[in-house]
A and B are shown apart, each in its own frame.
Chain A
């Protein structure tokens, strides 16, 4: 039953900077099965965005292979949709909401089918009455819903989401989380979700992958045996949620370059300033 949809093998990426080579990803291997919801958590700057850009073919990794449904990725593959963190930049301000959702389908899908998909996708995110507005006339949460509707309209096999809810308020955030779960159910989608929020990753996922600091490696692959459907209040009270989230929070806290600090090791504070001596 478990069929691997996305297979990443030995992915390595090195940025060339003025200070020299900067190894960001140092040999990542992971698999996402069809129908799975997998989250990636890791410290800021560890290369999560770099990883998603490599998976979506926007960035050519230094070495390693990525394959989608058995085919090696070289350039942007078909059957993949990306939801960017920066929805403002990702929606085209000169096109209305409906036209934004329709945009990736131009020249690929007939006009009739395009109309249907736009209506259906906007309905799925509850924005069917806003097709005629411009994106910048909507709130941040609504704009991110438009971006999700556009990804749905592409009917992707795999949806990549890069910290999609990082810049919305807490209430909107939990609404959007439930929206994503509903959409996934509705369209039987496979989702790879990047976040820096441990609670969010546990609430949404079947599996959480944690990363070290750069040069980045995979430090753990944690299953989330939390019953479905999830519920914002009951799921978060479930002992499984509580124990899984603290397990992953520990992993994040112990993240060091290329690995983890051992259980007994002292974890250095992030501050570089000496503690002032009191007299």
Chain B
């Protein structure tokens, strides 16, 4: 469920930046409306299929709750302060981890993008570290930082720093060389050219990085909660529920809410993208 909903989100939002300021009124709006309609139909179809599978007992061990039951339970959870506290913790820790990754990746990415020497020095190390799965570091992180916020934020930061870093470097490298020459021809110093030309050129790639990493941060945070034996957060809540009798219903409802949360966060970042990176998504007209 989480996957279906989340995978639909980028598709919906990639439609939006393409509609430049001029074409917003016409065809752009129509495709947007259609995408929303198809998305709703797809989701509805999935829910109906789910209900049928459960009602007719098509699964071997039939303890999956039905769609209607799950949705009702989800709505109930939204009024449950204990559950909401766990969700809040997950969101807060994810953003903390993402924030740490951001603060490391942006200056480092600018440096590695601008200086070829620094890039040559660091690229091998980066390529070696990047493929390591962050979740594999949970036991180590627990030993060093315990089972609380520090451990979870560290895991999230570890997983988010690479996509952010590579995107910032890519953005800096994509800066038009004529744009840089133009800045210099204004008599600007190197640092002014970086601030006024290179940095704005890299922002759209940075936002793309943020879009990728917000989803990653939530996934990693929940994962770290499961594996790291944390007492707070959505992951811990799901684990506790799954051990209770009749817990399956709560677990399924929790997963649905996690999915919706993912969609919401994605929509916020898509809004950022429209506001700050529309110029880079203009396409060739």
Contact = CB atoms under 8 A, between A and B. Distances in A.
Interface of A: 53, 56, 58, 76-78, 80-82, 84, 86, 88-90, 92-94, 103-104, 106, 134, 136-137, 154
Contact of B282 (A56, A78, A106, A136): A136
Contact of A92 (B20, B22, B179): B179
Contacts of B177: 89
B282 A93 contact: yes
A21 to B, nearest CB: 23
A90 B279 contact: no
Contacts of A56: 185
Contact of A137 (B21, B185, B186, B187): B21
Given A89-B177, A90-B179, A104-B187, 5 more contacts: A80-B185, A82-B185, A89-B176, A94-B280, A137-B20
Nearest to A85: B178
8 contacts: A77-B187, A80-B185, A86-B178, A89-B179, A90-B179, A103-B186, A134-B282, A136-B279
B196 interface: yes
Chain A contact surface mostly:
loop
A81 B184 CA distance: 11
B279 A76 contact: no
Contact of A93 (B21, B181, B280, B285): B280
Nearest to A87: B178
A99 to B, nearest CB: 11
B49 to A, nearest CB: 44
B178 A84 contact: yes
Contacts of A78: 187
A90 B178 contact: yes
Contacts of A80: 185
B192 to A, nearest CB: 9
A103 B179 CA distance: 12
Contacts of A106: 196
Contact of A90 (B22, B182, B282): B182
A94 B279 contact: yes
Contacts of A88: 178
A84 B200 CA distance: 21
Candidate in A58, A80, A92, A103 with the most chain B CB atoms within 10 angstroms: A92
Interface in B194-241: 196-197, 200-201, 203
Given A92-B197, A134-B21, A136-B279, A76 B184 contact: yes
Nearest to A96: B279
A56 B185 CA distance: 7
Contacts of A136: 279, 282, 285
A153 to B, nearest CB: 11
B273 to A, nearest CB: 13
Given A93-B282, A134-B279, A58 B200 contact: no
Given A89-B177, A92-B197, A94-B200, A104 B186 contact: yes
Contacts of B185: 56, 58, 76, 80-82
A93 B278 CA distance: 10
A89 B178 contact: yes
B181 A58 contact: yes
Contacts of A53: 181
Interface in B229-274: none
A106 B177 CA distance: 21
B123 to A, nearest CB: 22
Contacts of B176: 89
Interface string B150-185: 000000000000000000000000001111011011
- Closest 6 A-B residue pairs measured CB to CB? A89-B178, A104-B186, A82-B185, A89-B176, A93-B279, A94-B279
A225 to B, nearest CB: 33
B137 to A, nearest CB: 38
A259 B196 CA distance: 43
A126 B197 CA distance: 27
A69 to B, nearest CB: 15
Contacts of A90: 178-179, 181-182
A88 B184 CA distance: 17
A76 B187 CA distance: 5
Contacts of A93: 279-280, 282
Candidate in B176, B185, B200, B203 with the most chain A CB atoms within 10 angstroms: B185
Nearest to B180: A89
Contacts of B196: 103, 106
Contacts of B22: 137
A106 B185 CA distance: 14
B173 to A, nearest CB: 15
A84 B185 CA distance: 10
Contact of A84 (B182, B197, B285): B182
A131 B236 CA distance: 55
Contacts of B280: 93-94
A77 B187 CA distance: 7
A92 B196 CA distance: 10
A89 B181 CA distance: 9
Contacts of B203: 94
Nearest to A84: B178
B237 to A, nearest CB: 43
Contacts of A104: 186-187
